[in-house]
Structure 1
Amino acid sequence: MEQLDEIDKKILRLLQEDAKLTTKELAAQLGLTLSPVYERIKRLEGIGFIKQYVAVLDKNLLGQPITTFCQVSMRYHDKAFINKFEEEIKKLAEVQECYHMAGQVDFLLKIHVGSLDEYHNFVKYKLSEIENIGTLNSTFVLKEIKRNLGYPVH
């Protein structure tokens, strides 16, 4: 992995806080001119430290206030079933995140929907249609205490 200097790290921290910062604004905060800041950002994008720029939306204003974590255990664990599950999950818009896990649960899904009825329909008509699911265990978020979209940059 390529080593980052303190300026690179500061750029990453600043962009995680506000991806809309312009190169000019970044340069002013870093005490540098535009050209080296622009080149550093391009390099950080090129080597993969910066994967994308996104807008973080309000799930409540979008009508999706219900957050559910769904633990999925498979009946059979052969490669074909796992690959098929992963392909099918990627198609479901309600699934915001999916992780293949080690331990008692095979997959952990983070799902956003508008209501418990919507979640019921999602499970009944979409999730349960995926072949080889053994058990589902759903837990519902009562209150979001901490949500950090960034990573620590040391």
Structure 2
Amino acid sequence: MDSIDKKILMLLQQDAKQNTKEIAEKVGLSVSPTFERIKKLEQKKYIKNYVALLDAEKIGKSISVYCQVTLAVHSRELIDDFKQHILVLPEITGCFHVSGNYDFLLKVAVNDMNEYQKFVIDKLSVIKGISNVQSSFVMEEIKNDFAYNL
């Protein structure tokens, strides 16, 4: 990956709706080589997907919660079982296996406290092997950037 590829990636991170012609003008290439570079970046999986970032409040997901989950035992079977349960819960928008005082960090998006309470009681706490769940509620979003600095 060269500096032009990096510039293309930065431009796409800023606005993936830009067409190839617009990107080509910004990187100083013609349309065809720019198109080929983008296709190559996609094939090599530098670009995983193109998505629309939604306004959480407008779609009824105004509460963001970070859940720190601790498992009772760190067996491969229990960890794999936990991961499989997490993958199907639509309230969870992110799950990270971490080191430190807890085992997993979950990012949860819900409409209100009642919905979060139901999520914890009916969906999260029934997963086998969880010994502790601590919740941190986002009071204000200062920065939530999905772009990487290249």
Same fold (TM over 0.5): yes
Runs of 4+ in 1 over 3 A off after TM superposition: none
Q: 2:28 and 2:101 mapped to 1: Cα distance? A: 51
Q: Identity percentage over the alignment?
A: 47
How much has 1:137 moved relative to structure 2?
Answer: 0.3
**In the alignment, structure 1 residue 81 sits paired with structure 2 residue 78:** yes
Query: Which residue of structure 1 aligns with residue 134 of structure 2?
Result: 137
Matching residue within 113, 122, 139 for 2:110: 113
**In the alignment, structure 1 residue 25 sits paired with structure 2 residue 18:** no
AA in 1 matched with 2:96: Y
Q: 2:135 and 2:80 mapped to 1: Cα distance? A: 22
| Structure 1 residue matching 2:125: 3-state secondary structure | helix
Q: Count residues with an aligned counterpart.
A: 150
Q: 1:65 and 1:76 mapped to 2: Cα distance? A: 34
| Structure 2 unaligned residues grouped into runs of 5+ | none
Query: Which residue of structure 2 aligns with residue 102 of structure 1?
Result: 99
Query: Which residue of structure 2 aligns with residue 152 of structure 1?
Result: 149
Give RMSD over aligned pairs: 0.6
How much has 1:89 moved relative to structure 2?
Answer: 0.2
Q: 2:117 and 2:3 mapped to 1: Cα distance? A: 49
How much has 1:48 moved relative to structure 2?
Answer: 1.1
TM-score normalised by the chain length of structure 2: 0.98
Q: 1:143 and 1:103 mapped to 2: Cα distance? A: 25
Q: 2:6 and 2:22 mapped to 1: Cα distance? A: 16
| Structure 2 residue matching 1:81: 3-state secondary structure | helix
Q: 2:3 and 2:55 mapped to 1: Cα distance? A: 32
